[in-house]
Amino acid sequence: MSEKRLAAFDIGGTSIKMAFLTTEGDIIRKWSIPTDRSEAGVKIVQDIARSFYKELEADGLTTVDVLAAGVGAPGPADPEQGTISGAVNIGWPNGYPLKKLLEEAIELPVFIENDANCAALGEMWRGAGSGTGDVVCVTLGTGVGGGVVSRGMIITGVNGSAGEIGHITVVPENGFLCNCGKKGCLETVASATGIVNLYKAEGKEAPDARTVFEFAAAGDEAAKRVIDRCAFYLGLAIGNIANTVNPAKVVVGGGVSEAGEALLLPLEQYVKQFTFPRAMDVLSIEKAQLGNDAGVIGAAYLAKVMTV
Footprint on this chain of Zn ion (rule: CB under 5 A): 167, 178, 180, 182, 185
Shortest spacing between CB 20 and Zn ion, in angstroms:
36
Helices H / strands E in the chain, number of each = 11, 12
Cβ atoms within 10 A of the Cβ of 120, count? 34
Other C-beta atoms lying within 10 Å of the C-beta of residue 147: 31
Whole-number minimum distance, CB 238 to Zn ion, in Å? 17
108/180 with CB nearer Zn ion: 180
Nearer to Zn ion, 182 or 287 (CB): 182
Q: Are 70 and 302 in contact (CB under 8 A)?
A: yes
| Contact residues for 184 (Cβ-Cβ < 8 A; gap 6+) | 169, 170, 171, 172, 173, 174, 175, 176, 178
By beta-carbon proximity to Zn ion, the closer residue of 167 and 249 is 167
The least CB distance from residue 182 to Zn ion, in Å, is 5
Cα dihedral 8→102→133→252 (10° resolution): 60
Q: Which is nearer to Zn ion, 122 or 143 (CB)?
A: 143
Cα dist from 41 to 77, 85, 92, 97, whole Å: 17, 13, 6, 13
* Cβ-based nearer residue to Zn ion, 82 or 147: 147
Min dist. Cβ of residue 180 to Zn ion (A)? 3
What number of CA atoms fall less than 13 Å from residue 234's CA on the CB side? 35
- Least Å distance, CB 157 to Zn ion, is 16
